[in-house]
Structure 1
Amino acid sequence: MHIRYRRLVGVFALVALFLVWGFLALGVGYFLLGSPEWWVRMTYYAIAGAGWLPFAMPIVSFMSRRRDEPA
């Protein structure tokens, strides 16, 4: 696949990941966390905010691969 198309597919995949992860993290935090303490909510949202990174790393590596490199 040409690098230009890889980047286009990767951008759409990253946007979809951000949207899905954001709505899931918000829903879990709102409906299931249930703690009135501000520091518990802040800690959860800090961890959930960084939780998408391991899922984004394979997408970014897919985007940066050249056409002739093996998978």
Structure 2
Amino acid sequence: MPPRLRKLIGTVLIIILVLVYALVATTIAAATLGASPWYIHLLYFAVTGLLWILPAMVIIKWMEKPAKVRDE
């Protein structure tokens, strides 16, 4: 796969990941943290705010793989 196409696909995947992750994290917070104190909200959003980086790193590593050299 050409590097430009891989980067395009990876960029779209990261955008989708962030949107879906934010919606899911916020929905879970709204459903479960309603009566919790402020510091629980802070902890939850600090952890979930950083957790999306792990799958994004996998996508970025895939995007940055060198193109295969074809023997001709």
Task: Check whether TM > 0.5.
Answer: yes
CA deviations on 1:8-66 (whole Å, 9 max, x unpaired) are: 00000000000010000000111112333111101100000011111111100011011
Equivalent pairs, count: 69
Q: Percent identical across equivalent pairs?
A: 29
Match of 1:36, SS state, is: coil
User: Where does residue 26 of structure 1 map in the other structure?
Assistant: 26
Alignment RMSD (CA, Å): 1.3
Superposition TM-score, scaled by structure 1 size: 0.89
Give the TM-score of the pair, scaled to structure 2: 0.88
Which 4+ runs in 1 deviate beyond 4 A?
A: none
Mark the runs of 5 or more structure 1 residues left unpaired by the alignment. Answer: none
Structure 2, unmatched stretches of 5+, are: none
Larger radius of gyration: 2
